[in-house]
């Protein structure tokens, strides 16, 4: 039954691992059952560098979320980031016949499967094929061609690939924690699900998710994703700049950044003095500096980040896309002055976004730092096949996401699950809860 279809989303980040367990209610709303957050020291710039440390952080995060929910998690959606992520927009001829015929859902599923096969050629591992529209004979950018007639169908899609070695290393770390990877979801797409409004997607928007080790970029226009990318710069680099400047420990520099940091130092008084313990040789006791000096260091890094973002947006296929609206999210977006500086650099409208409220979601998690994890759960519930993450995983093939709940691959177990009786579903969930309590 839908209401007992519990899923788990695991956001494996550079600074923390967040596991979120939730379900879709019969009325279509989403309810959160448990959240586990643990520090992570196994990643650098979004990629696994220490397998054992990463696995242990994942295991601890999943265990805490399972304890809160009272449910054993055996599978999960896993978030993927890192500068190896690449995207492209494609036009492909996916159907051709001598006579017009009516377009069915089976035709569209087969069409996207064809795109998957074509896009998979070449280097890298294909992660997502997301339809943007179709061209039917001489009619272009048809959003929903079901029931229409055509001889030729061209598909306009957004495809996302990643480095195979990096992806498999993350997958191995998750599996070593006893969790089956139900699906990999690229984090720019996930964050957009939690942070953007329908109006922003329709009118054009650039989402910047500033995480611990990366900044994820997603551009939407006309309700569709048109560009995605990942930069290897995040909050870690801001803190490391302070470590280098003051010869301080990372922990003290991070605490200083959080408590007194700002990327708009011009509004700070020259007389506002701060101190930090230094590890520099020959220096006894803490060193002093002004709040404006601290802010200047952080501002330089923020300017560099936004310059790199502008470089990623300077691409021909975005030339006609309105990108004067910026939405900031992620833990790095909370640094004082980021919204104001972004407004100055991009000369557009800027807001900072937190995940929208959900049933069971504590206020502390309605925070930009949790957009990726919550968005991953929402995206999976809305776009991927039904199938509880409480039990053993079902065999599945590559999935191509369509408009409502369409895909391509060898996933068949979900249809039986949807028709299960309420009593059977409740008994299954009751057994799962008993397993956790034991």
430: domain CATH number? 3.30.420.40
Identify whether 29 is part of a domain: yes
Chain-wide mean pLDDT for the chain? 86
Last residue of a domain, one of 301, 319, 343: 301
Residue 398 belongs to some domain of the structure: no
- Judged against a pLDDT cut of 60, whether residue 367 lies above it is answered with yes
pLDDT at 266 over 90: no
Asked whether the predicted pLDDT for residue 322 surpasses 60, the reply is yes
Closest alpha carbon to 353 in 336, 329, 373? 329
- Asked if residue 401 is part of any domain, the answer here is no
User: Average pLDDT for residues 372-399, to the nearest whole number?
Assistant: 77
- Based on the fold, state whether residues 386 and 277 are members of the same structural domain: no
Q: In terms of pLDDT, which residue wins out, 249 or 437?
A: 249
Q: What's the pLDDT band for 270 if we cut at 50, 70, 90?
A: low
**Token pair belonging to 164:** 């195979």
Structural domain range at position 297 = 235-301
Domain match, 38 and 179 both: yes
pLDDT value at position 268?
67
Encode pLDDT of 76-128 as tens digits: 999 999 889 999 999 999 988 888 899 988 888 898 899 999 999 888 999 99
- What is the arithmetic mean of pLDDT over 325-354? 96
Check pLDDT > 70 for residue 432: no
Q: For residues 41 and 175, state if they share a domain.
A: yes
Helix axes 291-313 and 250-260, enclosed angle (nearest 10): 90
Among 292, 298, 303, smallest CA distance to 241 is for 298
Contact present, 398 and 409 (Cβ < 8 Å):
yes
State the pLDDT at residue 185: 94
- Over the range 9-28, which residues count as b (16 or more CB within 10 Å of their CB) and which as e? bbbbbbbbbbbbbbbbeeee
**Structural domain includes residue 402:** no
400: in domain: no
Alpha-carbon torsion angle 126, 382, 47, 318, nearest 10: 70
Share of the chain above pLDDT 70, in %: 87
Q: What is the pLDDT of residue 360?
A: 94
Q: Quote the number of domains for the chain.
A: 4
**Mean pLDDT (whole number) for 269-297:** 88
- pLDDT of 398: 45
Q: 46 and 94, same structural domain?
A: no
Let me know whether 95 and 144 are in one domain: yes
pLDDT digits (tens, 9 = 90+) for 180-203: 999 999 999 999 999 999 999 999
Helix residue ranges per DSSP H, 198-234: 198-203
Domain stops at, among 321, 336, 352: 352
Whether residues 204 and 329 fall in one domain: yes
**Residue 336 resides in a domain:** yes
pTM: 0.85
In this prediction, residue 436 carries a pLDDT of 47
Mean pLDDT of 140-155: 88
pLDDT of residue 144: 83
Is the same domain home to 322 and 179? no
């Amino acid at each position: 039954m839908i209401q007992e279809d519990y899923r788990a989303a695991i956001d494996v980040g550079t600074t923390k691992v967040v596991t979120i367990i939730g379900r879709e209610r019969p009325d279509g709303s989403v309810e959160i059952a448990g959240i586990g957050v643990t520090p992570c020291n196994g990643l650098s710039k979004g990629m696994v560098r220490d397998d054992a440390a990463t696995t242990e952080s994942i295991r601890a995060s999943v265990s805490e979320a399972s304890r809160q929910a009272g449910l054993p998690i055996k599978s999960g959606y896993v978030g993927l980031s890192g500068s190896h992520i690449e995207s492209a927009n494609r036009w492909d001829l996916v159907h051709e016949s001598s006579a017009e015929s009516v377009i069915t859902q089976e035709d569209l599923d087969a069409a996207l499967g064809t795109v998957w096969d074509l896009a998979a050629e070449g280097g890298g591992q294909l992660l997502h094929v997301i339809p943007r529209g179709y061209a039917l004979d001489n009619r272009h950018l048809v959003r929903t061609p079901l029931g229409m007639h055509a001889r030729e169908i061209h598909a306009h899609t957004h495809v996302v690939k990643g480095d195979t070695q990096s992806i498999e290393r993350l997958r191995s770390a998750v599996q070593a924690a006893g969790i089956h990877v139900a699906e990999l979801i690229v984090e720019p797409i996930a964050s957009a699900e939690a942070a953007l409004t329908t109006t922003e997607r329709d009118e054009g928007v650039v989402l910047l998710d500033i995480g611990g080790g990366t900044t994820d970029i997603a551009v939407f226009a006309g309700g569709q994703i048109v560009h995605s990318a990942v930069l290897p710069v995040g909050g870690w680099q801001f803190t490391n700049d302070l470590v280098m400047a003051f010869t301080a420990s990372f922990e003290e520099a991070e605490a200083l950044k959080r408590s007194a940091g700002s990327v708009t130092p011009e509004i700070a008084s020259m007389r506002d003095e701060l101190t930090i313990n230094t590890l520099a040789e020959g220096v006894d006791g803490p060193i002093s500096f002004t709040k404006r000096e601290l802010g200047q260091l952080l501002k330089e890094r923020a300017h560099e980040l936004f310059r790199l973002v502008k470089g990623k947006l300077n691409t021909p296929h975005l030339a006609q896309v309105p990108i004067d609206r910026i939405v900031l999210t992620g833990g790095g977006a909370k640094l004082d002055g980021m919204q104001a500086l972004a407004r100055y650099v991009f000369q557009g409208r800027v807001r900072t976004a937190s995940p929208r409220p959900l049933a069971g979601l504590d206020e502390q998690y309605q925070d930009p730092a949790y957009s990726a994890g919550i968005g991953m759960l929402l995206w999976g519930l809305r776009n991927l096949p039904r199938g509880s993450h409480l039990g053993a995983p079902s065999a599945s093939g590559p999935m191509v996401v369509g408009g409502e709940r369409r895909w391509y691959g060898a996933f068949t177990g979900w249809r039986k699950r949807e028709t299960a009786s309420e009593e059977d579903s409740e008994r299954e969930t009751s057994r799962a809860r008993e397993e956790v309590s034991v």
